[in-house]
């Protein structure tokens, strides 16, 4: 098999539009159990957790964070990449809530500043 013989770089990254994307991320977003399983069995690097919001991100960083959450939240990735998929989904929900709250605080601050000015 091509992946097992190390002919291909399973950790390669390319661009979808202007955003970087990996094979495991695409397989997870498509919820392709077979491909996610194959990539994980071959030792692919896991999808990284999105970085925390610092309030000064560019819109592309928001898009990247969204795409990472989509891959991490797919049923195929959750069940195959984690020993306890239920706990992993709870952790992911907490991470998403923190990102959302940070984003809402920033958006509220921008609106209030614009009203004051």
44 contacts 11 by C-beta, under 8 angstroms: yes
**Domain that includes residue 42, residue range:** 13-116
List for the chain the helix, strand, coil content (%; round to 5): 60, 5, 35
Does 64 reside within a domain?
A: yes
Is residue 2 assigned to a domain? Answer: no
Q: Tell me whether residue 54 is in a domain.
A: yes
The confidence score (pLDDT) of residue 84 equals 96
Nearest to 24 by CA among 7, 15, 5, 37: 37
pTM: 0.74
**Do the domain assignments include residue 4?**
no
* Domain total in the chain: 1
pLDDT for 2: 45
The predicted structure's pLDDT at residue 1:
44
- The answer to whether residue 17 is domain-embedded is yes
pLDDT in tens, the chain (117 residues): 445 555 667 777 777 777 888 999 999 999 999 999 999 999 999 998 887 666 566 556 777 888 899 999 999 999 999 999 999 999 999 888 887 777 665 555 555 555 655
Whether residue 40 lies inside any domain: the answer is: yes
Residue 6 lies in a domain: no
């Amino acid at each position: 098999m091509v992946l097992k013989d190390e002919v291909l770089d399973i950790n390669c990254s390319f661009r979808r539009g202007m955003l970087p994307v990996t094979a495991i991320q695409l397989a997870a977003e498509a919820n392709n159990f077979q491909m996610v399983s194959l990539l994980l069995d071959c030792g692919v690097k896991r999808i990284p957790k999105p970085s925390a919001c610092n309030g000064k991100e560019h819109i592309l960083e928001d898009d990247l964070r969204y795409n990472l959450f989509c891959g991490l939240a797919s049923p195929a990735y959750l069940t195959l990449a984690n020993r306890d998929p239920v706990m992993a989904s709870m952790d992911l929900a907490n991470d998403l809530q923190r990102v959302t709250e940070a984003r809402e605080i920033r958006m509220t601050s921008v609106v209030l500043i614009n009203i004051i000015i």
